[in-house]
Chain A
Amino acid sequence: MSISAFTQHLRQVFSHTNDDLVLIQQIAQGERKAFDQLMLKYVDQAYSVAYRMTQHSEQAEDIVQDVFIKVWQNALQWDASKAKFSTWLHRMIINRCIDVSRARSHHYLEACEDIQQFANNDQSDVLTEQSEKQAYLEQALQQLNEQQYTAMVLTYSSGLSNKEAAAVMDIKLKTFESLLVRTRQQLRQYLSQFYSEDL
């Protein structure tokens, strides 16, 4: 990366951080427009993570709403010197999802709408090879523990970098990366019982 590209990258990073900081300060002063702007910037990411974590659209919507209420009411709780706004937001979403999942006292994906959809397809015997593979993968994802599943969701559903995803989970980058490697291995191992091909 050349110096000018690096400088531009830094400028972009800091402008995003500054944007969020300005918006949060305006929200703390009760400015609705700033809240709308921040909400529209992050709502898709937040919902995506909540939906993948809970596998339930209504619960995901409630969680996202709860978190944005917290942002509106307690905007100044975000400490810009400690974490980026998106890290703080995702951490709240993940924690809330885990609380809800534990309160339900059953596994994350037990009420998975997608799996039910695949199961229905299975019964009607119209599964294509591709959707069959997808269904097995969904089953494999169910076998993951809380930490592994969270890492996968943050990697594939949030659009966050590994560094930021590690910050959301409050673990080191190296730890996060090894967690991803181990999780992928576990998924492949699970799927190997259904496929003779190399994984």
Chain B
Amino acid sequence: MKSSSFEQALAQSLQAKDAPHALKQRLAHIPEQFPQVTHSPKKSHHFSWWIPSLATAASLLGFTLGFQDLLFPNTLEDSQIMITWLYGSVELGGLSL
């Protein structure tokens, strides 16, 4: 077998083979049969600096207003307000992470 006929035989043995029509039809139905994997959108870090800033400001405000009441709670309502402020601060802080 000469070099050219060897190459020819090799090309013939491994020649490209078109996909059957039935396969193409099967593949065309993939979108309706298989739901896409939904990726959670990446968190945007643009302008995210204002969230922790707001949380800090809210905490400071809440602490200043409620400090007196926390140390010397006169009423149950005062304590509840302080707890709400603290809870809100933690929530906002958590959102920024």
- Interface positions of A (Cβ within 8 A of B): 28, 30, 32, 35-36, 39-40, 43-48, 51-52, 57, 61, 64-65, 68-69, 72-74, 76, 114, 133-134, 137-138, 141, 152-153, 155-159, 184, 187-188, 191, 195, 197-199
- Write out the residue numbers on chain B whose beta carbons fall within 8 Å of the beta carbon of A141: 13-14
- Interface positions of B (Cβ within 8 A of A): 1-3, 5-6, 9-20, 23-24, 26-28, 30-32, 34-37, 39
Nearest B residue (CB) for A135: B13
Q: Which of A51, A73, A137 contacts B13 (CB 8 A)?
A: A137
Nearest B residue (CB) for A154: B14
| A199-B10 Cα distance, complex, nearest whole Å | 13
Nearest B residue (CB) for A188: B6
DSSP majority for the A interface? helix
Q: Which of A47, A72, A133 contacts B31 (CB 8 A)?
A: A72
- Write out the residue numbers on chain B whose beta carbons fall within 8 Å of the beta carbon of A30: 31, 36
- Write out the residue numbers on chain A whose beta carbons fall within 8 Å of the beta carbon of B37: 73-74
On whether the beta carbons of B27 and A134 are closer than 8 Å, the reply is no
On whether the beta carbons of B14 and A197 are closer than 8 Å, the reply is no
